Amino acid sequence: MLRSEGDRLTRVVVSTPRDAYFDVSTHGAANIPELADRELTIRQHDELKATMAEFGCEVIDVPEFAGHPNSVFTRDVAVCTPGGHIKLRMGLAARRGEEGWMSEALESIGERCVGEIREPGTVEGGDIILAGAIAFVGVSERTNEEGARQLTGMLADMGLEVRTVWIQGYMHLGGAMSLIGPERVLCCRGVFPEGLFKGFDTIEVEPRGPSTGNVICLQENEVIANAAENAPVIRRLEREAVRVHALDLSEFRKGAGGPTCLVLPVERR
């Protein structure tokens, strides 16, 4: 069950890069800007998994989806809710097919499917942040208005208040904001409309890159951040009494991904 991205992380799905992420023949269509170093990439991913496991989180590692280098970014292909998972529909055409791969993996661990985004709608998981009774949904280059409309209906049926925001300058909403507690948000200054975060305590930071606001919340005021690109944010969070596990995830920036892109939260308590 997952109600809020600010709750304690207890179960996640990841996909360790072994082959697909390094297949340069697929990188153009997959929007992967730079080839990553295989050995370093796997080492960085192993460190991420170890950090979550040491925290007490169950880490479920599913094999890459053949021919899909972006399948390492498990966050985008589904969203887990209090009732089960919603099967999404990728905005990037080269990622189509990953939705069924992930839905099958989730059903195999008991996470039933409770909805699906239908064509012509597109929604990617990086544009969805559940925050208890509220859901933040981004309309972006990957999530279109029709997809957001379908998703809003599903979440509203679950009793959630949906706050929709149009995102520019970031691939996903999650590049510019993350929950770091049930009622605490890390966000980039100047990106969001006034009132969006009503009811939440905010830590605003200067936007410095595509994943400035992107951290993995382990529990209230404890996060994982990418030390390779987010040093100023890490210092700010530490000044705000947030414990930060600073990991080098540089090889995933080469694939245009941030920390949260690498994990699909299944359960938080």
Nearest alpha-carbon partner for 17 in 66, 72, 84: 72
**Position 1 in a domain:** no
3-state secondary structure of 71: helix
Model confidence pLDDT, tens digit, residues 90-133:
999 999 999 999 999 999 999 999 999 999 999 999 999 999 99
**Position 165 in a domain:** yes
Q: What pTM, to 2 d.p., does this model score?
A: 0.97
Per the CB < 8 A criterion, the answer to whether 72 and 21 are in contact is: yes
State the Cα–Cα distance between residues 244 and 214, nearest whole angstrom.
12
Q: Which residues contact 99 (CB under 8 A, 6 or more apart)?
A: 77, 78, 87, 88, 89, 90
Give Rg (Cα) of the chain: 17
DSSP string, 239-251: HTT-EEEEE--HH
**Position 4 in a domain:** no
Mean pLDDT across 33-55: 98
Kindly report the CATH number assigned to the domain that includes residue 262.
3.75.10.10
State the Cα–Cα distance between residues 176 and 168, nearest whole angstrom.
10
Confidence of residue 213 (pLDDT cuts 50, 70, 90): very high
Domain count, the chain: 1
**Position 198 in a domain:** yes
The whole-number pLDDT of residue 248 equals: 98
**What tokens were used for 119?**
């064509």
Per the CB < 8 A criterion, the answer to whether 60 and 53 are in contact is: no
**Position 3 in a domain:** no
Strand 177-181: give its sheet, edge to edge.
177-181, 184-188, 201-205
State the Cα–Cα distance between residues 60 and 51, nearest whole angstrom.
14
The residue type of 265 is P
Nearest alpha-carbon partner for 128 in 267, 269, 264, 268: 264
Confidence of residue 228 (pLDDT cuts 50, 70, 90): very high
**120 cis-preceded (ω within 30 degrees of 0):** yes
Model confidence pLDDT, tens digit, residues 140-174:
999 999 999 999 999 999 999 999 999 999 999 99
State the Cα–Cα distance between residues 211 and 228, nearest whole angstrom.
11
State the Cα–Cα distance between residues 80 and 38, nearest whole angstrom.
30
Between the two ends of the chain, the Cα-to-Cα distance in Å is 8
- Residue 249: give the domain boundaries: 9-268
**What tokens were used for 143?**
């999530």
**Position 41 in a domain:** yes
State the Cα–Cα distance between residues 55 and 9, nearest whole angstrom.
9
Model confidence pLDDT, tens digit, residues 127-146:
999 999 999 999 999 999 99
The whole-number pLDDT of residue 249 equals: 98
Mean pLDDT across 44-56: 98
